[in-house]
């Protein structure tokens, strides 16, 4: 297979994944207010619980409670993405269903991330030469395990198995996977390439939609300020929320398509299909 045929096959996968994600989001529009509501609920609980942080012990306890709440809401969001792919779509009833096994799979991976960041951060704490270590550590986690959300909610793999599956997948499909990611982050890349690196270093591998919304925030602020219209700011914010949810659905379809075979086999299937 020639390089041209492989590129054509990849573009076809992008097109099919984008169209499927669009139809899934149109059918499961409840994903948009659901995800926004989950975010607001977490912020509300954060503000309430933060008032009880009267000492170091209370802060640690509240941190763990907030962590469990965040993972619980995140596992519900993963379930919403899974339901949105189904023929019946995501209903309002589905928004309140809690998936215990999916929560366990999500928190098992989140706990490993916590251990990695905690122990390596403690190891290099106070070393002047390691001042950039947290940045490189977070970037490494984001790029090496970027497909972990899809592995969790599509393949229902937990713990080290999820990390290993994501790493193997990205080792074989890194270019095809990260190109759409870079395009979605285009506003922050164009406005500040260095800011893109900082954004990724502060992002969470389990929360790609939040990275997308944060990437579009400077663009929204700039154009809202130039136009002097708060309405435009809200419209752009809603559009960034729609984009983030569409992108997560797109990732799901893209993951399954790329996982189905090697570059050569995908190019062969695309050629036979045409």
Using a pLDDT cut of 70, give the percent of the chain over it: 83
What is the structure's pLDDT at 128? 47
What is the structure's pLDDT at 229? 65
**What b/e string do you get for 85-116 counting C-beta neighbours within 10 Å, with b at 16 or more?**
beeebbeeebbeeebeebbebbbbbbebbeee
Contact 56, 76 (CB under 8 A): no
DSSP string, 62-110: HHHHHHHHHHHHHHHHHHHHHHHTSTT---TGGGG---HHHHHHHHHHH
List, for residues 147-194, the tens digit of each pLDDT value: 999 999 999 999 999 999 999 999 999 999 999 988 888 777 777 666
List, for residues 108-123, the tens digit of each pLDDT value: 999 999 888 778 767 7
Average pLDDT over residues 117-139: 69
Residue whose pair of structure tokens reads 């790029």 in the numeric block:
143
List, for residues 20-62, the tens digit of each pLDDT value: 999 999 999 999 999 999 999 999 998 898 887 777 777 888 8
pTM: 0.88
Whose CA is closest to 138, among 221, 188, 64, 204?
204
Hey, how many other C-beta atoms are within 10 angstroms of the C-beta on 208?
21
């Amino acid at each position: 297979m020639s390089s041209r045929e492989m590129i054509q096959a990849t573009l076809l996968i992008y097109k099919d994944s984008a169209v499927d994600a669009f139809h899934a989001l149109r059918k499961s529009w409840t994903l948009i207010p659901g995800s926004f509501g989950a975010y607001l609920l977490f912020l509300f609980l954060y503000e309430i619980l933060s008032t009880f942080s009267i000492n170091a012990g209370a802060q640690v306890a509240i941190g763990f409670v907030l962590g469990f709440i965040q993972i619980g809401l995140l596992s519900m969001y993963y379930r919403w993405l899974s339901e949105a792919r189904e023929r019946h779509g995501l209903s309002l009833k589905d928004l309140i269903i809690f998936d215990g096994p999916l929560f366990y799979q999500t928190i098992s991976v989140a706990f490993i991330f916590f251990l990695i960041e905690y122990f390596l951060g403690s190891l290099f704490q106070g070393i002047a030469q390691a001042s950039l270590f947290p940045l490189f550590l977070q970037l490494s986690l984001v790029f090496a395990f970027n497909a972990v959300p899809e592995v969790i909610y599509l393949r229902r793999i937990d713990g080290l198995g999820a990390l290993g599956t994501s790493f193997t997948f990205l080792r074989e499909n890194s270019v095809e996977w990260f190109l759409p990611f870079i395009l979605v982050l285009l506003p922050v890349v164009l406005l500040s390439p260095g800011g893109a690196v900082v954004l990724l270093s502060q992002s969470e591998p389990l929360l790609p939609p939040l990275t997308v919304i944060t990437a579009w925030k400077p663009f929204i602020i700039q154009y809202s300020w130039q136009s002097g219209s708060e309405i435009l700011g809200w419209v752009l914010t809603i559009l960034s929320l729609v984009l983030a949810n569409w992108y997560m659905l797109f990732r799901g379809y893209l993951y399954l398509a790329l996982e189905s075979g090697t570059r050569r086999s995908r190019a062969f299937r695309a050629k036979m299909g045409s």
